[in-house]
Structure 1
Amino acid sequence: MRLPLNLTVASTFALAGIASLAAASMTATVIEETTQESVQAALTEKGLVWAETYAEGLNVFLTGTAPTEAERFLAMSTAGGIVDAARVIDNMNVEAIAALEPPAYSLEILRNEAGISLIGLIPEISDRADLIARLQKTAGRDAQVSDLMETADYKIPSGWSPAMRFALDALEDLPRSKISVAANEVSITAMTDSIEEKLKLERQFSRELPTGLILKLDLSAPRPVITPFTLRAILDEGTLRFDACSADTNEAKDTILSAAAEIGLKDGQDCRIGLGVPSPQWAAASVAALNALQELGGGSVTLTDADISLVVPAGTDSALFDRVVSKTEKALPELFALQATLPVLDENGEVEKAEFIATLSPEGLMQMRGKLGNSLSQTTIESYAQARFGSENVYDAVRLSEHVPASWPIRVMAGLDALSKLNNGSVTVTPDHVDVTGKTGSQSASAEISQVLSGRLGGGQQFSIDVAYEETLDPLASIPTPEECIAKLERVQSSVKISFEPGSGTLDANAAPILDAMAIILEECGELPLEIQGHTDSQGRESMNLALSQNRAQSVLAALRDRRILTGSFVAKGFGEANPIADNGTEEGREANRRIEFVLITQDEEAPVDDEDVSLDGSEDTATEGQETLENSGDPVDEGALDEESATQETGADDQN
């Protein structure tokens, strides 16, 4: 049976189409697989093993998670190098970038005679203008404040604020300094004008250091100029002591002290390091002189610049004396000259000698007695003493005598100079000896007295110094601690409280003696971080009590300021009825609750810092809302402004409060 012609033709074309489709499909599959394999191989070769490839038609799709945006871009470029870049479809992701760590805020503050420089990174929300204004005030109107600071918008670390406050306060006392500030840490490198100032600042910074803040302190002081450069040693019964000891370097000091220790130096004695040494061989000359003392078994040796005076006890064997003196002269470096004295006992008896005695009482009264040569000498010595001790403090009981040496006035004035270095004591002057005894609040008094006597009396002169240092007389050591200051203020109020006009924040006349006593205490204490707190009882409206307590605290602050007390570190704050210390249900309790208290501001008591209200130094506004209203309005709380109930509850109690 034969098929119709049309059906045959149609069948032929259908079979050809099916065959063509099959061939095209197979060809497309081969191309996709080839493209996918080529791109994947290229990615693997580049180390992009995280990327996956699949082809669909003429397009190549990239998937996977790239570690970085750069890795993602590299994958796209690699695929684009195999096939047309327009056919590469990016379905890749990038790993989430970890949150950036906040920067380490730090600030370098450099201050010298030219001005102040600021270098570092500070929080963006800091009050930059306020800091520059404060530092301009510190540096002076004509000095320059250079601002090289950068800012960053990150949360402020908890220790940044107290570190900034402490650093800015310290900078005011350090005109030549570098201060580094970081969270919870302040490093200070500075130069001071003297050892005394260095010790004072070290104590001040230690006292004011906030809790938890690390302070690295490196204060230096210039070496004092010692004139004359002096060493005086006395060897008595196997014990050596220094009346004065000077050295030009630490190495020289160690050399001298080591030699003295072998002879029997008393514990706790030291040498002052200073300028003015007459020769680099000072330590060698000192050791030679000390060795001479040891060989002689006693006596005193005094080095005054290049002059050396050696005095031995009466009765020392003359042969031993001559041998030791000769040996010492050979051991001394060039420039140094030795004058040795061997006292000879007078077999004919002791001859009356001139004597002058001056005594200084702890109250500062000075009495002179003994002998002077003539009326001119007496007038000169009296004027000299009045210049040293005050014209009203000198009592002259001297006698005139012709039997005094020609150099007597010089010896007496040297003795008065030595006595002026003491808080109390006496000086005895004879033709061949000067004795100084007493008490002092200066640890360097013995060395200073020795230098005075060596310079004024000259070489070969004998003198002795018996001066005791007492810490209670030291003006630096006697500064009370902040806690002791608060205790003293509390004792002043223990019997009588600070009193006000009834129903008012105005101090009454009875408050003046109490505030005078407190001003004396605060003047001795120096600057304190002090909060003056006002408190009331619970009668009357709470808002009126708060305003009244704030006004009273502010009145006390103003009264202390009027008494010339430095109140820059004081804060006046009213608490109203919030902190009772007794039962408000009784009149005695209400009387106790109406009070003024003085409280130290410590780091632990500071309020949390609000990032939106922080200043550059991180310090929060110390004024309460009530205080701000009272101070900024200029209208103090008035008795008439209080309601009748509040005014009534204060009347009768405030005349004692």
Structure 2
Amino acid sequence: MKERLINVAHNLRGLRVAKIGSYKAYVLMGGIFALAIVLAIGAATFAVRGIEHVVARDAHAVLAESEIDWAEVQTDGLLLTLRGEAESEAARFRALSAVSTVVAAERVIDDIQVAPSMEIAAPRFLLEILRNGLDVSVIGLVPTSLDTDGIIARIEAIDPEISVVNMLETASHPVPFGWDRAVGFGLEALASIPASKISISADQVEVTGLADSARQRDEMRDKLMRQRPRGLIASINISAPRPVLTPFTLRFVIEESGARFDACSADTSEARTAILRSGRAAGAQGIIDCTIGLGSPSPRWQVAATESIDALGVLGTGSVTIADTDVSLVVPNSVSAEQFDRAAAELERQLPDVFSLDAQRLPPPDGEGLDRDGDAIEFVASRDSEGIVLLRGHLTDERLRDAVYSMARTEFGLNAVRINARLDPDLPGGWPVRAMLAIDTLAQLEHGQVRVRADRFDISGVSGDASASDTISRAVAEQLGRGAVFNLNIRYDERFDPVAMRPTPARCEAWITEVLEEQQITFDPGSASIVSGAGRVIDKIAEILRDCGRLEMEVAGHTDSQGRLETNMRLSQQRAEAVVAALSARGILVSEFVAEGYGPEFPVADNSTASGREANRRIEFRLLGESAAEATQERTGDAPDTERDAAETPDEADLEIVVTTGAGEQPRPPERPER
């Protein structure tokens, strides 16, 4: 039993040794496998790192070749990630396309950020208004915040019958600087020109329009230039079509005082040049005008006009009048019969076939043309400088006297007409027509006289219309008919011309100076209180400034030399400010007025005398800034060249007034010396 137990123990011991040996083998094999795994992983990792390096290198190369320096490349195994900020979607797509040549597109991870785009620029706002009488169309792109209803309402307020078609579009962007003033000026232009196109942007307004006449064109242009806001570029193009002249009239006169055109019409610029050249050759001097218009009775008008003027130039005195196709040559008795007959025959031969000539050599004066009392048989209508009209002379009957009197009162006012006419039924034929024509002609003169006789019609006086002589000649020739003898002596005076005397900065300054020369603005002694009597002076100045519109002006206060300098300086400043305040109280726009006190520094008289000190205590008005520059240009503007060749004058049909002004730097007038 014991042996059996010993054998069992030996067997168990052997079995334990065997198990221990087997376990060691297992451990050894596990270690080998673990080492193999580690080696495999290391090899795989090394291989992946190599692949990532190659991919990154190639990706950087293609990006550099494409000049893409903003992109960053990161690799993760077979995956490639692109990072960075692209300036646009196009740049982002270009970078992705470039690296897709290195790795497959499905293994590229897009982590690119696109830079936010810049704020979209505001569009150019443009408002265009087209007007044809009562039909208005409004087109363009305007800010959403613009009061379009207000604009339409302002247009409709021009005329109750105006019809407005609104085709405006809006955009939600801020209103550009200057837009409101540009729109305001454009609407002012629209109200002034019935046929126009107004293009409005924030910094510029373009006005294109059509006027009925050259005079209206000038009035429109001048009005708009006065209304133009400072700093706004304004392009104003207003054209006037050729007028229709009825009848087509030319009248050339040679007298002892010289030669002149009383009326001149031409159908082309070439005809105008030839006619004026003939007039100068016959003795006409100075600035000569000849209206180019429609209505010529013949394409050979130029020939008839130049030949008629040349014939009168040969005779040396008299007049030649052409009304449509009727030519009237009238010379005094001082021209010899032989010379007259030769010149008349030659003119008749040279005239185109459609024209007919009536040549008269006036007889010597005798006793004819007198009534029973020895007075001249005539009717005279005269108007003095005060506007009083006197009608005197001979009329056929009471009906004609009443008609003449009523017509004159209608033209000149109920209380301005005086009549002292004698009735004579035996007056020459056509007397009523001549008497009524005398009233109508006198109405075109500021003051003057129209004398009606059996053999002639004499007109003399002053007019504020530079074309009055031409207009009156045409009317007289049409009313009196072929062969009428009439004489005109009409002087143009720009003081009565509303266009020539329009309020300009220079004129406004001069008008104010004239008012102050008549009576100064005075103050209570030692005070800035304006005396009651000086209120009338300020009223006159305010009336002038209302018509002058926007002006930059200095209101300067001056004192005499008595008293302390500091006190005088302060007092002069207060007085200047008091005048500005008084003008403002009268509704005058004084936002661009400057009140300045100069004390006794600029005397105009001797302070040692009482009268000199009184003269030195004064208020002065002086233009500043752009207003002063405009006045300087007006005063120093080029005078018309009286010797210029008429050939340089453009055809009125193509004439267009173009005025472009802007906010450019203007020369400033000399400043006062520093105190």
- Is this a same-fold pair by TM over 0.5? yes
1:138 alignment partner, SS class: coil
Deviation at 1:303, TM superposition (A): 1.0
1-structure distance, mates of 2:51, 2:499:
95
CA contact (8 A) 1:229 1:246 kept: yes
Deviation at 1:370, TM superposition (A): 3.4
1-structure distance, mates of 2:494, 2:208:
28
Q: How does 1:426-505 map to 2 (within 5 A)?
A: 426-478=449-501, 480=503, 494=521
CA contact (8 A) 2:460 2:490 kept: yes
Deviation at 1:24, TM superposition (A): 2.3
Q: How does 1:181-192 map to 2 (within 5 A)?
A: 181-192=200-211
Q: Which stretch of the first structure deviates more once superposed, 386-395 or 41-50?
A: 41-50
Match of 1:310 in 2: 329
1:269 alignment partner, SS class: coil
Q: From the superposition, tell whether residues 155 and 281 of structure 1 become closer, same or farther in structure 2 (CA, over 3 Å).
A: same
Match of 2:318 in 1: 299
Q: How does 1:483-632 map to 2 (within 5 A)?
A: 494=521, 518=539, 522=543, 525-526=546-547, 528=549
Q: How does 1:219-368 map to 2 (within 5 A)?
A: 219-236=238-255, 239-345=258-364, 351-353=368-370, 354-356=376-378, 357-368=380-391
2-structure distance, mates of 1:303, 1:94:
84
CA contact (8 A) 2:142 2:168 kept: no
Match of 1:417 in 2: 440
2:252 alignment partner, SS class: strand
CA contact (8 A) 1:366 1:393 kept: yes
Are residue 60 (structure 1) and residue 80 (structure 2) matched?
yes
Q: How does 1:144-223 map to 2 (within 5 A)?
A: 144-154=164-174, 156-157=176-177, 159-223=178-242
1-structure distance, mates of 2:362, 2:62:
108
2-structure distance, mates of 1:60, 1:121:
50
Q: From the superposition, tell whether residues 75 and 526 of structure 1 become closer, same or farther in structure 2 (CA, over 3 Å).
A: same
Match of 1:610 in 2: none
Q: From the superposition, tell whether residues 132 and 366 of structure 1 become closer, same or farther in structure 2 (CA, over 3 Å).
A: closer
2-structure distance, mates of 1:208, 1:146:
26
Are residue 130 (structure 1) and residue 150 (structure 2) matched?
yes
CA contact (8 A) 1:224 1:274 kept: yes
Which of 397, 403, 428 is residue 405 of structure 1 equivalent to? Answer: 428
Deviation at 1:257, TM superposition (A): 2.4
Q: From the superposition, tell whether residues 78 and 468 of structure 1 become closer, same or farther in structure 2 (CA, over 3 Å).
A: same
Q: Which stretch of the first structure deviates more once superposed, 421-430 or 404-413?
A: 404-413
Deviation at 1:472, TM superposition (A): 2.0
Q: From the superposition, tell whether residues 434 and 121 of structure 1 become closer, same or farther in structure 2 (CA, over 3 Å).
A: same
2-structure distance, mates of 1:97, 1:434:
84
Q: From the superposition, tell whether residues 161 and 53 of structure 1 become closer, same or farther in structure 2 (CA, over 3 Å).
A: same
1-structure distance, mates of 2:233, 2:272:
33
CA contact (8 A) 2:127 2:200 kept: yes
Paired AA for residue 209 in structure 1: R
1:226 alignment partner, SS class: coil
Q: From the superposition, tell whether residues 521 and 285 of structure 1 become closer, same or farther in structure 2 (CA, over 3 Å).
A: farther
1-structure distance, mates of 2:202, 2:270:
39
Match of 1:109 in 2: 129
Deviation at 1:424, TM superposition (A): 0.9
Gaps of 5+ in 1: 498-510, 532-552, 561-566, 574-578, 582-597, 605-657
CA contact (8 A) 1:359 1:366 kept: yes
Q: From the superposition, tell whether residues 195 and 75 of structure 1 become closer, same or farther in structure 2 (CA, over 3 Å).
A: same
1-structure distance, mates of 2:120, 2:151:
28
Match of 1:28 in 2: 48
Q: Which has the larger radius of gyration?
A: 2
2-structure distance, mates of 1:144, 1:382:
48
Q: From the superposition, tell whether residues 163 and 41 of structure 1 become closer, same or farther in structure 2 (CA, over 3 Å).
A: same
Deviation at 1:449, TM superposition (A): 1.4
Q: From the superposition, tell whether residues 480 and 32 of structure 1 become closer, same or farther in structure 2 (CA, over 3 Å).
A: closer
CA contact (8 A) 1:58 1:87 kept: yes
Match of 1:70 in 2: 90
How many aligned residue pairs are there? 545
Which of 159, 163, 188 is residue 143 of structure 1 equivalent to? Answer: 163
Deviation at 1:437, TM superposition (A): 0.9
CA contact (8 A) 2:193 2:220 kept: no
Match of 1:611 in 2: none
1:421 alignment partner, SS class: coil
Q: Which stretch of the first structure deviates more once superposed, 357-366 or 9-18?
A: 9-18
Paired AA for residue 463 in structure 2: T
Q: Which stretch of the first structure deviates more once superposed, 451-460 or 56-65?
A: 56-65
Paired AA for residue 151 in structure 2: L
Deviation at 1:450, TM superposition (A): 0.7
1:172 alignment partner, SS class: helix
Note the alpha carbon deviations across 1:441-482, whole angstroms, 9 max, x for none. Answer: 222211121112111111222211111122222244445558
Q: From the superposition, tell whether residues 171 and 399 of structure 1 become closer, same or farther in structure 2 (CA, over 3 Å).
A: same
Paired AA for residue 226 in structure 2: R
Q: Which stretch of the first structure deviates more once superposed, 129-138 or 461-470?
A: 129-138
2-structure distance, mates of 1:415, 1:114:
39
Paired AA for residue 214 in structure 1: I
Q: From the superposition, tell whether residues 476 and 327 of structure 1 become closer, same or farther in structure 2 (CA, over 3 Å).
A: same
CA contact (8 A) 1:238 1:297 kept: no
CA contact (8 A) 1:185 1:215 kept: yes
2:458 alignment partner, SS class: strand
Deviation at 1:184, TM superposition (A): 3.3
Deviation at 1:360, TM superposition (A): 1.3
1-structure distance, mates of 2:286, 2:179:
45
Q: What is the aligned-residue identity percentage?
A: 36
Note the alpha carbon deviations across 1:151-209, whole angstroms, 9 max, x for none. Answer: 3423632x333222222333333333222222332221223444444333333222222
Paired AA for residue 391 in structure 2: M
1-structure distance, mates of 2:71, 2:303:
82
2:483 alignment partner, SS class: coil
CA contact (8 A) 2:404 2:439 kept: no
Which of 104, 107, 120 is residue 140 of structure 2 equivalent to? Answer: 120
Deviation at 1:241, TM superposition (A): 1.0
Q: Which stretch of the first structure deviates more once superposed, 459-468 or 242-251?
A: 242-251
Paired AA for residue 278 in structure 2: A
Q: From the superposition, tell whether residues 430 and 126 of structure 1 become closer, same or farther in structure 2 (CA, over 3 Å).
A: same
Paired AA for residue 166 in structure 1: F
Q: CA RMSD in A?
A: 4.8
Q: From the superposition, tell whether residues 260 and 40 of structure 1 become closer, same or farther in structure 2 (CA, over 3 Å).
A: farther
1:438 alignment partner, SS class: strand
Q: From the superposition, tell whether residues 255 and 29 of structure 1 become closer, same or farther in structure 2 (CA, over 3 Å).
A: farther
Q: From the superposition, tell whether residues 231 and 580 of structure 1 become closer, same or farther in structure 2 (CA, over 3 Å).
A: closer
Gaps of 5+ in 2: 1-23, 371-375, 525-531, 553-580, 598-620, 628-675
Q: From the superposition, tell whether residues 273 and 64 of structure 1 become closer, same or farther in structure 2 (CA, over 3 Å).
A: same
Match of 2:565 in 1: none
1:364 alignment partner, SS class: coil
2:140 alignment partner, SS class: strand
Paired AA for residue 120 in structure 1: G
Deviation at 1:242, TM superposition (A): 0.8
Paired AA for residue 156 in structure 1: P
Q: From the superposition, tell whether residues 409 and 530 of structure 1 become closer, same or farther in structure 2 (CA, over 3 Å).
A: same
